């Protein structure tokens, strides 16, 4: 096994353009050796989001980091009025087929964790294990009084004005509004280069904003039935909407392990990368 220090930085790895049988293009980076592990980023990220994880995980796994359908640098422009995690789970399944992956471990964040859970519900044999940071399944806020109240506040203060901006073609404003609402606990995570990267992925946010149902329900019984090892991770300083969703997802998945990370908001893997890497790698070392 090669050492962590011998692994190249993620952005030094060459990108591969993959065209799925559906015609969707995805850009993919690969590195390392061992059991396959797929990183799946959130709505405002892309394949580069996992740079803080890449050297450490490539030391023990064959790692794949890809940009989801509408994220940088993909050029998919086809309309998707019903775009959601279910659509992206099918993209992920086709990507695994194209790369020859019958089964893989996953490390996923936010909407990306939603995507992998959707794949796990539909095809559990494809998911060997999952580290899921704050799956962005906003419909789960509806399962508690406090969650419903926070969801209403979030929709009024963040989602409605952001979606209005996207509908009138102001992607920059929509991205800024959505970013502020999602990462309110850590303003440093949304400034400078980080904000520019999110603006580069504004199209992904717009496609969800224009969808008829961007947060379809994965039934609690289906989540409770998942038999593969799952570690649910949350930042202790995450905004209230994510805390409410996470609480109710945890309740739906009593079989899952749970970890909280101090000093982190919603973007745990970036804000507290060393702690996150240690937690995730220890969890993934267990036989699947």
CATH number for the domain including 226? 3.40.50.1820
In the DSSP assignment, the letter for residue 215 is: S
The verdict on residue 73 lying in a domain is yes
Is 38 among the domain residues? yes
Q: How many CA atoms lie less than 13 Å away from 5 in the CB half-sphere?
A: 0
- At 236, list the tokens: 């202790």
Q: Is 74 among the domain residues?
A: yes
- Residue 29: its pLDDT value, please? 98
Asked whether residue 128 is assigned to any structural domain, the reply reads yes
Which tokens belong to 110? 């936010």
Strand 230-235, strand 127-133: pairing: parallel
Confidence (pLDDT) at 167 = 84
Determine, yes or no, domain membership for 114: yes
Asked, for residue 164, whether it belongs to a domain, the answer is: no
Give the CA distances from residue 100 to residues 15, 36, 47, 201, in Å, rounded to whole numbers and listed in that order.
Answer: 17, 10, 19, 28
Q: Exposed, middle or buried: residue 21 (CB in 10 Å: 0-12, 13-18, 19+)? A: exposed
Q: What is the pLDDT of residue 185?
A: 45
276 within some domain: yes
**Per-residue model confidence (pLDDT) at position 267:** 94
Q: Does some domain include residue 161? A: no
| E-state strands within 134-284 | 230-235, 257-261
Q: What does the pLDDT read at residue 184?
A: 61
Residues of the chain with pLDDT under 50: 1-5, 185-190
**Domain carrying residue 61:** 4-141+213-284
Give the 3-state secondary structure percentages of the chain, helix then strand then coil, rounded to 5: 50, 15, 35
Q: What is the pLDDT of residue 39?
A: 98
Instruction: Give me the number of domains the chain comprises.
Output: 1
**pTM recorded for the entire structure:** 0.92
pLDDT for 217 equals: 97
């Amino acid at each position: 096994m090669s050492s962590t220090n011998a692994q190249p930085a993620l952005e030094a790895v060459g990108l591969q353009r993959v065209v799925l049988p559906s015609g969707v293009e995805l850009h993919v980076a690969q590195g390392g050796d061992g059991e396959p592990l797929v990183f799946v980023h959130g709505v405002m990220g892309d394949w580069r989001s996992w740079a803080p994880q890449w050297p450490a995980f490539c030391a023990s796994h064959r790692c794949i980091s890809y940009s989801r359908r509408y994220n940088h640098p993909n050029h998919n422009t086809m309309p998707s009025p019903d775009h959601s995690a279910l659509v992206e789970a099918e993209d992920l399944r086709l990507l695994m087929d194209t790369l020859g992956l019958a089964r893989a471990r996953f490390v996923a964040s936010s909407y990306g964790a939603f995507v992998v859970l959707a794949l796990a519900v539909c095809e559990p044999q494809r998911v060997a294990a999952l580290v899921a940071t704050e799956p962005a399944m906003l419909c789960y806020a509806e399962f508690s009084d406090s969650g419903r109240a926070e969801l209403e506040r979030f929709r009024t203060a963040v989602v409605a004005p952001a979606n209005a901006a996207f509908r009138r073609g102001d992607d920059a404003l929509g991205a800024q509004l959505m970013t502020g609402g999602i990462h309110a606990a850590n303003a440093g995570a949304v400034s400078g280069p980080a904000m520019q990267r999110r603006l580069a992925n504004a199209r992904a946010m717009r496609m969800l904003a224009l969808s008829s149902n961007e947060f379809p329900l994965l039934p609690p019984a289906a989540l409770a039935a998942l038999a593969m090892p799952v570690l649910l991770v949350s930042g202790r300083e995450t905004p209230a909407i994510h805390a409410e969703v996470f609480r109710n997802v945890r309740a739906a998945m009593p079989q899952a392990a749970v970890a909280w990370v101090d000093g982190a908001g919603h973007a745990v893997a970036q804000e507290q990368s060393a702690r996150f890497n240690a937690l995730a790698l220890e969890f993934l070392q267990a036989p699947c």
